[in-house]
Amino acid sequence: MTTLSRPIVISPEGPSLLAWLNPVAFARTMVGHRNLIWQFVKRDLRNRTRGTHLGFAWDILNPLLMLVVYTIVFSSILEARLSGKQTETAMEYALYLFAGLTAFQMFAEPFGRSAAQITSKRNFVKKMAFPLEIFAISGVLTSTIHAAIGFALVFLAALLVTGGVAWTAVLLPLLLLPAVFLAIAAGWALGAMGVYFRDLQQFLGTSITRLLFFVTPIIYSVEMVPEKIRWILYLNPLTVVVSGVRSVVLAGEQPNWLAWGVWSAIGLVAMLLSYAIFMRARRGFADVI
């Protein structure tokens, strides 16, 4: 039996928004919940293929099949090219597309579900004192693992097609950082908003995610966009991530580090801020859900 500690006081006021904006406390809670976060990542990963005969193999098969489909479509049906690169083969284009898509999905998947993240976990809100903040983290970790499998396939395919992978590919995890920060931030901010405005769920997963897909250079390259409106692309953090990923993995070039740095910083601040908003807003969740 532990000795009686100082009481925890449950009161109407609770810590203020500013009190939650403490990076040290933030890091400490996240580390403290690492076991729980990992459990939920495992649960998410397994949940998807639970009950199937192939199990985990689907997590590899699915992206592999997607890559095959793209290659067939673009080599024999569409013969699409990224402009200005006449030497490029259809297989290379398929790889370009797939690498970009993998990076995009890593963000879009948790982003699309963010508004429903808390409302869909009714029991965790109403039936126990649960650290709801971990769902944003575990969701993004799950999609990052899926992305890792996708990128492993990209490396493999690149080895087969071009005979080698540029050394710059080691920069990949670093490049994904802004997308990870922003996806977690969206998980908290939109997750909290989604509790009070359920309407958010309706268009976030569909219209907004699809719009995001088209304003990100995935099926096209940044160079294909008229220079006059190219700046619009750079308002989208995923532009930096997606084109950066292609540069380091497929082209062996350095990404735009300045843009990357700016978006990483914005992502970090957004993450801390939305964490504070979430922790403040969650006090009312059980009243509404």
Residues forming contacts to another protein in the complex (CB under 8 A) are: 1-2, 4-12, 14, 35-36, 39, 43, 46-47, 50-51, 123-130, 196-197, 283-284, 286-288
Across 156-277, where does the E strand assignment appear? none
**Quick one: 227 or 287, whose CB is closer to another protein?**
287
Residues in the chain, total: 289
Distance, CA of 280 to CA of 189 (rounded, Å): 11
**Quick one: 182 or 200, whose CB is closer to another protein?**
200
**Quick one: 7 or 226, whose CB is closer to another protein?**
7
Q: What are the distances in angstroms from CA 95 to CA 34, 161, 175, 246, 259?
A: 35, 9, 18, 9, 24
Write down the least CB distance from residue 1 to another protein, Å: 5
Write down the least CB distance from residue 119 to another protein, Å: 14
Distance, CA of 123 to CA of 127 (rounded, Å): 5
CB atoms within 10 A of CB 178: 26
Write down the least CB distance from residue 10 to another protein, Å: 4
- Alpha carbons within 13 A on the beta-carbon side of 188: 24
**Quick one: 210 or 283, whose CB is closer to another protein?**
283
Write down the least CB distance from residue 48 to another protein, Å: 10
**Quick one: 7 or 84, whose CB is closer to another protein?**
7
Write down the least CB distance from residue 281 to another protein, Å: 11
Contact 150, 98 (CB under 8 A): yes
